[in-house]
Amino acid sequence: MPRIVVCRMIPDAGLKLLRAAFGEEHVHVAPQDGPIERDRLLDAVRGADALLPILTDRVDGEAMDAAGVGLRVIANYAVGYNNIDVAAATERGIPVTNTPGVLTDTTADTAWAILMMTARRFGEAERYVRAGNWGGWGPMQLLGVDVHGKTLGIFGMGRIGQAMAWRAQGFRMRVIYYDPARPEVDRDLAATAVDKPTLLAESDFISIHCPLMPETTHAFGPAEFAAMKPSACLINTARGPVVDEAALADALKSGTIHAAGLDVFEDEPAIHPKLLDCENAVLIPHLGSATEETRGKMARIAAENIVAVLTGKRPPNCVNPEVL
């Protein structure tokens, strides 16, 4: 019987499926609910036929070799798979799968929520109330900026970027996007493709929805902040390293840009100390897909991909289909 290694406790929907398919005793779930250390990861994967890592587990060639030649599938519990060395998996003929689709709207909801919080200063306002500082309504108190009618710039117009564009329609926003891989999208979105300088210059809000790749690492740094409107807000629910966090903290402090809403960070769970004391930064702990419903669906999809491979079928969400 195969050995399935689940690197972190995940919702039952996925575990049930794996246990039903392979038997309770063959599904090994990391006992602690915390990040698994490198040594323990390398140890835990030994002899695995299937791995179900989460996005903080780095699965590189070394980890694949630690699992051994029996490793037949890596089913990442995330849509992003920058934690997996896909080239190394492909070299070894191992399919890598992800969980696209089910978290699209949930992640766009998160981006929208922090966009609103950022524009309307609701993080700061909450801190103000809880600190006991509120003396009553005031005409000039905690004034934010409007979202409706403004220009939203979407950096990376995949599934989540497009879901963001749909939300913007309800707020009667003008939507522009930059995505070299996707020159055209659904016309009903009424979104216009632009080059990166135009996106930077014309957006009131920029929301990042690209995958992390060498080409997108530090796609937002000092030059980009300088090219943005001083009134602009930057939203990132994609991956931390797309933004140069130290440069962002400087831009927020100096007023080069107005505010930022961040769900992801360069070196999670560490956050640049300067950002932590920027009142104009909304900071939440990588909650993009964090709803009961969506995390359950992600667990089920990751499990379905494992079941497919180990029963000789085509996994539905393979990111390196050339190995199949």
The residues annotated with a catalytic role in the active site are 239, 268, 286
| SS3 assignment, position 164 | helix
**188 in Cβ contact with 168 (< 8 Å):** no
Please say which residue, 80 or 95, places its beta carbon nearer to ligand GLV: 80
Phi then psi dihedrals of residue 222, to 5 deg = -50, -40
By CB under 6 A, is residue 288 in contact with ligand GLV? Answer: yes
Binding of ligand GLV by 79 (CB under 6 A): yes
Choose between 36 and 301: whose C-beta lies nearer to ligand GLV: 301
Cβ proximity to ligand GLV, 256 vs 289, nearer residue: 289
Instruction: List strand residue ranges (DSSP E) for the chain, in order.
Output: 4-6, 27-29, 50-52, 73-75, 96-97, 151-155, 174-178, 191-193, 205-208, 233-236, 259-262, 281-283
Give the largest Cα separation in the chain, rounded.
69
Q: Does 262 bind ligand GLV (CB under 6 A)?
A: no
Q: How far is CA 58 from the centre of its chain?
A: 16
Is 103 a binder of ligand GLV (CB under 6 A)? yes
| Structure tokens belonging to residue 18 | 């794996």
Token pair, residue 258, equals 């107005």
- Distance between CA 207 and CA 235 in Å, rounded? 5
Helical segments of 190-322, H only: 196-202, 222-227, 245-254, 273-276, 292-310
For residue 233, which of 263, 262, 257 has the smallest C-alpha distance? 257
Binding mask 38-77 for ligand GLV (x = CB under 6 A): -----------------x----------------------
Residue 163 forms beta bridges with which residues? none
d(CA 27, CA 123): 41
For position 240 contacting ligand GLV by CB under 6 A, the verdict is no
Which residue's CB is nearer to ligand GLV, number 73 or number 79? 79
CB 177 within 8 A of CB 194: yes
Copy the structure tokens of residue 54.
């989460």
Nearer to ligand GLV, 9 or 227 (CB): 9
Would you count residue 168 as binding ligand GLV (CB under 6 A)?
A: no
Instruction: Output the smallest distance, CB 195 to ligand GLV, in A.
Output: 27
- Compute the least distance from the CB of residue 321 to ligand GLV, in Å: 19
Q: Which is nearer to ligand GLV, 2 or 288 (CB)?
A: 288
With contact defined as beta carbons under 8 Å apart, do 218 and 242 qualify?
yes
80 binds ligand GLV (CB under 6 A): yes
The minimum distance between CB 108 and ligand GLV, in angstroms, equals 13
Q: How far is the CB of 56 from ligand GLV (least distance, A)?
A: 10
Q: Which of residues 108-167 bind ligand GLV (CB under 6 A)?
A: none
- How far does CA 104 lie from the centroid of its chain? 10
Q: How far is the CB of 289 from ligand GLV (least distance, A)?
A: 5
Per CB under 6 A, the segment of 12-20, 78-86, 109-117, 225-233 that binds ligand GLV is 78-86
Binder to ligand GLV among 54, 78, 212, 252 (CB under 6 A)?
A: 78
Min dist CB 239 to ligand GLV, Å, is 7
User: Interface residues with ligand GLV (CB under 6 A)?
Assistant: 55, 78-80, 103, 288-289
